[in-house]
Amino acid sequence: MKSPDERRRSDRAHAAILEAASQTVQELGYGKTTIEGIAARAGVGKQTIYRWWSSKGAVVIDALLAGQTETDWPDSGDLGTDLRLVLRATTLEFADERTSATLRALMLDMQDDPALSESVMTRMLGPQLEATKRRLRSAQQAGQVDAAVDLDLAVEVIFGPIYHRWILRTHPFDEAYADALTNLAIRALGPAVAGAVGR
Amino acid sequence: MKSPDERRRSDRAHAAILEAASQTVQELGYGKTTIEGIAARAGVGKQTIYRWWSSKGAVVIDALLAGQTETDWPDSGDLGTDLRLVLRATTLEFADERTSATLRALMLDMQDDPALSESVMTRMLGPQLEATKRRLRSAQQAGQVDAAVDLDLAVEVIFGPIYHRWILRTHPFDEAYADALTNLAIRALGPAVAGAVGR
């Protein structure tokens, strides 16, 4: 068992590493960030980092998560209002060059690093997708989302267009885009309108 | 100027390289494909390949395009019918492990290779997105797509969900998925229904 002093030192090192990881990614970008660089900035040895994290990706995810406010959706009672807020915030994040570069590098590394992919999915993206589904489920109960809509697909209809634009870099992100996407998503997911079938 | 014999030899070498590139990617996957390997299989020197193509990605794109039937959309007069066909074909392509691996490798290489990215966009994806917009424009004229819908966003609403599922590998692709996506996209893009506003 650790003594109180050892635990305090350990907590301090843990926090220093997360802070160093965050600053390093901010300054150098994800690609040029190294475990060595993070260790040097945090004033610890590489082995201290590897005691808690298995890879650069794993530390960076924790650093990103530490800086994040919350994954839960707002719930004003009106899905359209909440969706517009979330999509404005999400597109703002993707429009930010540094955040976008970090996410892009993580997404790339995920494709041939199953452990990192697992880590991103269970710790970062998974909870966001689950939170979205929770909000959609409550909108379904309120009659604002068609009961027959599959919520996994609904999540993709909401965020998929942003991925398409982001990966192919076809067009920039702005608030008008977030709002136009909100409108189309609400039309896609909303309750089937009587008389509209077969039009 | 080339003599007729030289031109024939040159055409044969060009075709042999495309065929070799296609076979090599089929057998080894994109990642293990090399210019050297393609040259050896085609029975030409590396320099012959570099005379026509600047990179592995460029040859592979041409080999993929040579095997493709057409980018143009069907036009039955009913957007829903055509969209269902196209989305079934698209998801079938993404569900195929080898095609998916090749596209994934191209997509990854694009992210830090501007020349390849330009090439994929202008030669492969760009024409597909344009063909989609042409079909949507004709559906707009037929009153099947809301006149106010931005067609760049419409394209993303159609294909973005597939990208989301493909990149995050969250769920498998099947025909039921293609059909469910078709229904939601038609609801998103279809003409605004009188009386449905403000619901």
The architecture that CATH gives domain A79-198 is Orthogonal Bundle (1.10)
> How far apart, in Å, are the Cα atoms of A154 and each of A134, A135, A146, A188?
12, 11, 10, 9
- What is the four-CA torsion angle of A119, A70, A139, B87, rounded to 10 degrees? -40
The token pair at A61 is: 């995810």
Quote the pLDDT of residue A187. Answer: 96
- Residue B5: the pLDDT is 84
Query: Across the interface, do A177 and B111 touch by the CB < 8 Å criterion?
Result: no
DSSP for A88-150, please give it: HHHHHHHHSHHHHHHHHHHHHHHHT-HHHHHHIIIIIIHHHHHHHHHHHHHHHHTTSS-TTS-
Report yes or no: A160 and B163 within 8 Å, Cβ to Cβ.
yes
Q: What is the mean pLDDT of residues B23-32?
A: 81
Asked if residue B184 lies in contact with residue A153, where contact means CB atoms within 8 angstroms, the answer is yes
Q: Residue B79 in contact with residue B148, Cβ under 8 Å? A: no
Region for residue B23 given its phi and psi (left: phi exceeds 0; alpha: psi -120 to 50; beta: otherwise): alpha
- Note whether B107 contacts A: Cβ–Cβ < 8 A: yes
The encoded tokens of residue A12 equal 């301090």
Nearest to B168 among A125, A170, A171 (CB): A125
In angstroms and rounded to an integer, the radius of gyration of the C-alpha atoms of chain A is 20
A116 touches chain B (CB under 8 A): no
Shortest CB distance from A180 goes to which of B153, B170, B185? Answer: B153
Q: Which two tokens stand for residue B36?
A: 């050297």
* Per-domain residue ranges of chain B: 4-65, 79-198
* Residue B2 at interface with chain A, using a CB cutoff of 8 Å: no
Please answer whether residues A10 and A2 qualify as being in contact, where contact means their C-beta atoms are separated by less than 8 angstroms. yes
- Mean pLDDT over residues B173-178, rounded? 96
Averaged pLDDT for residues B144-154: 97
Please choose, from the candidates A165, A180, A135, the residue with its C-alpha nearest in 3D space to the C-alpha of residue B188.
Answer: A180
Residues B57-72: tens digit of each pLDDT: 889 888 888 766 567 8
Q: What's the pLDDT at B195?
A: 47
Question: A195 and chain B: CB distance < 8 Å anywhere?
Answer: yes
> Which CATH topology does B4-65 take?
Arc Repressor Mutant, subunit A (1.10.10)
* Parts of chain A with a pLDDT under 50: 195-199
What is the overall mean pLDDT for chain B? 89
**What pLDDT does A99 receive?**
80
Cβ-based neighbours of B157, under 8 Å, separated by 6 or more:
A157, A160, A161, A181, A184, A185, A188, B185, B188, B189
Residue of A nearest to B81 (CA): A198
Considering only CB atoms, A160 lies closest to which of B164, B192, B195, namely B164
Chain A positions touching B149 (Cβ under 8 A) are 184
Using alpha carbons, list the distances in angstroms from residue A169 to A19, A70, A94, A166, B134: 31, 27, 11, 5, 20
pLDDT tens sequence across B72-121: 899 999 999 999 999 999 999 899 887 888 888 888 877 777 888 888 88
d(CA A44, CA A19) in angstroms, rounded, equals: 12
- Which of these, B174, B164, B183, B186, lies nearest to B88 by C-alpha position? B174
Task: Indicate the range of A79-83, A97-101, B123-127, B140-144 predicted with least confidence.
Answer: A97-101
Indicate yes or no: CB of B199 within 8 angstroms of CB of A180. Answer: no
> How many angstroms separate the CA of residue A196 from the nearest CA in chain B?
7
Q: Using the predicted structure, report yes or no on whether residue B147 has a pLDDT greater than 90.
A: yes
